[in-house]
Structure 1
């Protein structure tokens, strides 16, 4: 790679050199990630399957994770984590520095002499905080180089710790270098479960709840010069159209029966997107008209809500014998401003409606927040009260979680809120107590009751807003009380001949069914180009007026690696956050390579992508 980069430096401009320097830094990071991962697992295709494995592989990467840190990434819903999940964790969990370690020891060095008695060390490590076992502490006190006369020389221990970490890193890298193929490719892999997510700088972290497919994707690879075969796709797009003349006008369906439900896309810390999923019940065959659009909540005058620009779509799948056997019917492809829609005929039965966003516009925002919005204050009588700003946010939240839009919260609706904010459901007994203490109507919680519930929480904490902030942050709000990491939406179902019913069933990450549906829709409607001489590797490209999606199908018996280069694209943003990356596609499978949208809709955009086969 160094030789390749040296050759490129002679022909690239100064800006391009800066890019290559940045990429080189990324390559180094991912090479270190991969080296640590392969020190524990035989392949980066293997998943982390337990807390213990997660802790071990983090330690191999020079981290010293606390149990709290491990629990943050391995929740009760987690079944597996993969290589790219691991990479994203390492970006957040920086290695401990010698200075930080020394500060921790100085806090318990009462004599300030650079030593800690073994008796005190046992007391601290086995009793306080996250407790270690006696055997684990013995392993520290028996290190000859840093212990003497019943005391630990923590300066020497910190130095030994840092040296050992660095040696482990070098050993892992040396092991990686033994395999020339790994040295040439230098990338990891990731199980593909859904195309709903956006991460920076790689594409999609896998679902922390369900991970079933074998599609793979990877971080940045080596130079494209090592690629065997390639194809180029160039699509010039005008400014995104806001209307489609083929759509039926709203007044055409004014006499049809309608069912509505709201929902939301929630952005997780790791870039994963959680959303509601629905069942549609259709009692008889009918022409239906389905729409989805961002929910326009109250806004400050002159200030546009960021989620209104988030792209939305709805995939319609027919349930046959079971939930595992879902058949793609269609998706909301036509557009009118921010609304996406589909019109067609559906037979009687049960359908699944799965909301989807590419992740191009719903992603982590690095914004400097100066100061923290005030949530509560004490009035003239010394009583706690909610601030005007917090009340406005709570009112928006109420609108968002009132899924059926009747102005009241049922237990079922409230539990979607509880699952998102606390991870637990409210049972019937607790709900009865809630109804006895807060304003209700028709056995459902009113908006005022919801406000009072939050005020009670503030009173329980004597005005400490910490728990209130946990709720707000989990719902996509930042410390300035702006909802920047969520996108509420509304779904409308119109049926000509019967009364449709829609019911929110789950609040979870993208499913295997959604991934299959996206791939199938692109294969059915997209242009196909063969990437290899055996015609076993095919790249499909689907284009609408608002997005372009590419899917790679691998018909061969072996996994393949595809290098993807978007550097020549103009006014584009993709869900991966990188202009150059690679995807690893498992045998006999297909996967989404990327979603691309215009960065600025009012301007023309050019999609120029080169897919190359890496040997």
Structure 2
């Protein structure tokens, strides 16, 4: 009985994603394309049988929103249910004063142009011209509701038919194209190009069933071409094999440290500081990274302390094809990840990395928004105690070298994050004249006064202050929920290392390439049966599993991923069934997986299938 229920749920999920994609492709050429305006969002939601109000649109398209991807669209459709016939009928009954099942044109016009989401005269005329079939001046709203529902169903059916027709055409083109290659040209050991596509997003095309046997070559795309992996992992919490051990004499080594932060963006991507590491001479080094606890209460650590903070070290990262992944963190002690080894003299780049499994958007109903400013004696504006505490935490995060002062360089990372602008030398000189400084750097008090001045300039309006707070990961209750500050420590036995923050940016091609290269170098490779041009690489250590899809062909491929049979697993995708479009001759990170409960066994069970 339970198996039947699970199969039914899987079919429902499959149908949902199929319908989502069909609707999406009525507006876009590919589900890799993004929604880039509120108007586009409104149109595509209407195509899906929704009737979004401005309030609904504003909920999903805020002032800082620049794009939404296909996965965002699917999540919106989950939450915004289509208008049902009973809801439509109830709305019309409220307008139908005498209850005879009809509404006059004047009554309809008055309601639609004066209440709620007001419509224009032209929009109302368009509705009446369609609904009033016998032109008697009245609207039979029962018939209109039937028409509305049937039109929605027809639109969805046509969208599905159009998508199936497009898929069939692509299958035919792919089959005729693949026949031109001999079997010997399809290697069973994949060696795809090293370029990655950092914007490859979730794309879903599940099929309800398989057709008759095909005469197409085995390389043609089909859901029969698949790869399955099952990995049983022990409890990670008590693991000794992947334990990070500190060198015995490390306290005598040269040491330098810098702070940084992971920031969760509106689109779900993660931004982070990145670093340049100068090694003057060949030396043994010990590098670690861990989340930074800002809590003043020992027994109640900061909420982000469970976020996995790791890093990659790369060399010559300007040229992606020649970029060398020197190492990445495979060892761990509690929340600290690290690496020990020898680095030859030269310049390296440290790219902090988190899987995103534990740094995700968290919705919380906030009953009362925190107050940022208040009036003191004589009506003077002042910052509230709660806001000052939040600003103090922000100061700790942006004070990268931890000296209790903000340099121009540190302050500009903060400005880049919160306003997208930079403070030049002239503006910095004015800042130092007006606010408390020490050694030509801004003090904590100076930083507080700077924010107070901003509130005074706006006559107490906190809008700009909230922009700053939200950019730094705070919600309206002044909780840092969409950021994870960290600290990076570098020890060297032979020489002093130079560590410098050089970037604060969203997940880059450099990091994507580093992840793909590391997984392909150390992971298990499985060529997809029936399509030798696609290989799935799966890397595992005691704490993480990462899979990469390599596409050697000259055609874009869509891979359906099903991890529903996994146990005690947390995916970076946030869902257990999805699909990924992989551009021609490229590699794409499929997903990262961590255990939900590290003290229990976790089982990774995943099937990747080629979608026709």
Question: Shorter-chain-normalised TM-score: which range?
Answer: 0.7 to 0.9
The alignment yields a C-alpha RMSD, in angstroms, of 4.5
The residue aligned with 2:483 is: 486
What runs of 5+ residues in structure 1 fail to find an aligned partner?
A: 1-12, 107-111, 127-136, 185-209
User: Which of 393, 398, 407 is the aligned partner of 1:396?
Assistant: 393
TM-score by length of 1: 0.75
Q: Using the alignment, how far apart are the partners of 1:224 and 1:521 within structure 2?
A: 36
Structure 1 pair 419–397 and aligned structure 2 pair: CA distance change class (3 A): same
8 A contact 1:294–1:489 mirrored in 2 = yes
1:549 and 2:546 aligned: yes
1:445 and 2:436 aligned: no
The residue aligned with 1:34 is: 21
8 A contact 2:534–2:551 mirrored in 1 = yes
Answer with 568-577 or 422-431: which moved more: 422-431
The residue aligned with 1:583 is: 580
Task: For residues 190-211 of structure 1, give each alpha carbon's deviation from its aligned partner in whole angstroms, at most 9, with x where no partner exists.
Answer: xxxxxxxxxxxxxxxxxxxx99
User: Which of 323, 329, 333 is the aligned partner of 1:336?
Assistant: 333
Q: 1:433 deviation in Å?
A: 2.7
Report the 3-state secondary structure (helix = DSSP H, G, I; strand = E; otherwise coil) of the residue aligned with 2:268. coil
8 A contact 2:372–2:462 mirrored in 1 = yes
Report the 3-state secondary structure (helix = DSSP H, G, I; strand = E; otherwise coil) of the residue aligned with 2:427. helix
1:309 and 2:306 aligned: yes
Q: Using the alignment, how far apart are the partners of 2:551 and 2:319 within structure 1?
A: 28
Q: Using the alignment, how far apart are the partners of 2:419 and 2:56 within structure 1?
A: 16
Answer with 462-471 or 397-406: which moved more: 462-471
8 A contact 2:270–2:506 mirrored in 1 = yes
Q: 1:417 deviation in Å?
A: 1.6
Q: 1:451 deviation in Å?
A: 1.3
Answer with 530-539 or 400-409: which moved more: 530-539
Q: Using the alignment, how far apart are the partners of 1:172 and 1:598 within structure 2?
A: 39
User: Which of 332, 354, 364 is the aligned partner of 2:361?
Assistant: 364
1:570 and 2:567 aligned: yes
Task: For residues 365-422 of structure 1, give each alpha carbon's deviation from its aligned partner in whole angstroms, at most 9, with x where no partner exists.
Answer: 2333332233333334433333332222211111011112111112222222222222
Q: 1:332 deviation in Å?
A: 1.6
Task: For residues 79-119 of structure 1, give each alpha carbon's deviation from its aligned partner in whole angstroms, at most 9, with x where no partner exists.
Answer: x87544654676688889999xx99xx9xxxxx96547999
Q: 1:449 deviation in Å?
A: 1.1
Q: 1:337 deviation in Å?
A: 1.4
Q: Using the alignment, how far apart are the partners of 2:4 and 2:462 within structure 1?
A: 48
Q: 1:312 deviation in Å?
A: 1.2
Report the 3-state secondary structure (helix = DSSP H, G, I; strand = E; otherwise coil) of the residue aligned with 1:477. coil
Q: Using the alignment, how far apart are the partners of 2:111 and 2:206 within structure 1?
A: 49
Report the 3-state secondary structure (helix = DSSP H, G, I; strand = E; otherwise coil) of the residue aligned with 2:478. coil
Q: Using the alignment, how far apart are the partners of 1:588 and 1:217 within structure 2?
A: 18
Q: 1:487 deviation in Å?
A: 0.7
Q: Using the alignment, how far apart are the partners of 2:464 and 2:33 within structure 1?
A: 37
The residue aligned with 1:202 is: none
The residue aligned with 2:421 is: 424
User: Which of 218, 221, 228 is the aligned partner of 2:206?
Assistant: 221
Q: Using the alignment, how far apart are the partners of 1:26 and 1:459 within structure 2?
A: 52
Answer with 554-563 or 491-500: which moved more: 554-563
Answer with 302-311 or 175-184: which moved more: 175-184
8 A contact 1:472–1:478 mirrored in 2 = yes
The residue aligned with 2:468 is: 471
Report the 3-state secondary structure (helix = DSSP H, G, I; strand = E; otherwise coil) of the residue aligned with 2:447. helix
The residue aligned with 1:538 is: 535
Structure 1 pair 161–461 and aligned structure 2 pair: CA distance change class (3 A): farther
What runs of 5+ residues in structure 2 fail to find an aligned partner?
A: 96-105, 133-138, 172-194, 211-222
Q: Using the alignment, how far apart are the partners of 2:596 and 2:112 within structure 1?
A: 60
Q: Using the alignment, how far apart are the partners of 2:324 and 2:28 within structure 1?
A: 36
Q: Using the alignment, how far apart are the partners of 2:336 and 2:368 within structure 1?
A: 36
Report the 3-state secondary structure (helix = DSSP H, G, I; strand = E; otherwise coil) of the residue aligned with 2:274. strand
Q: Using the alignment, how far apart are the partners of 1:238 and 1:294 within structure 2?
A: 22
Structure 1 pair 546–421 and aligned structure 2 pair: CA distance change class (3 A): same
1:295 and 2:292 aligned: yes
Q: Using the alignment, how far apart are the partners of 2:597 and 2:59 within structure 1?
A: 39
Q: 1:155-554 counterparts in 2 under 5 A?
A: 168-179=155-166, 181=168, 212=197, 217-219=202-204, 221-222=206-207, 226-241=223-238, 247=244, 249=246, 252-300=249-297, 302-319=299-316, 322=319, 325-532=322-529, 535-554=532-551
Q: Using the alignment, how far apart are the partners of 2:569 and 2:72 within structure 1?
A: 25
Whose radius of gyration is greater, 1 or 2?
A: 2
Q: 1:177 deviation in Å?
A: 4.3
Structure 1 pair 377–541 and aligned structure 2 pair: CA distance change class (3 A): same
Task: For residues 32-61 of structure 1, give each alpha carbon's deviation from its aligned partner in whole angstroms, at most 9, with x where no partner exists.
Answer: 432233223444355678998778656655
Q: Using the alignment, how far apart are the partners of 2:474 and 2:552 within structure 1?
A: 44
8 A contact 2:274–2:503 mirrored in 1 = yes
Q: 1:589 deviation in Å?
A: 2.7
Q: Using the alignment, how far apart are the partners of 1:305 and 1:281 within structure 2?
A: 32
Q: Using the alignment, how far apart are the partners of 1:364 and 1:245 within structure 2?
A: 30
Q: 1:290 deviation in Å?
A: 1.4
Structure 1 pair 71–353 and aligned structure 2 pair: CA distance change class (3 A): farther
Report how many residues are paired: 553
Report the 3-state secondary structure (helix = DSSP H, G, I; strand = E; otherwise coil) of the residue aligned with 1:550. strand
TM-score by length of 2: 0.76
Structure 1 pair 553–507 and aligned structure 2 pair: CA distance change class (3 A): same
Report the 3-state secondary structure (helix = DSSP H, G, I; strand = E; otherwise coil) of the residue aligned with 1:254. helix
Answer with 469-478 or 21-30: which moved more: 21-30
Structure 1 pair 422–88 and aligned structure 2 pair: CA distance change class (3 A): farther
Structure 1 pair 250–433 and aligned structure 2 pair: CA distance change class (3 A): farther
Q: 1:483 deviation in Å?
A: 1.5
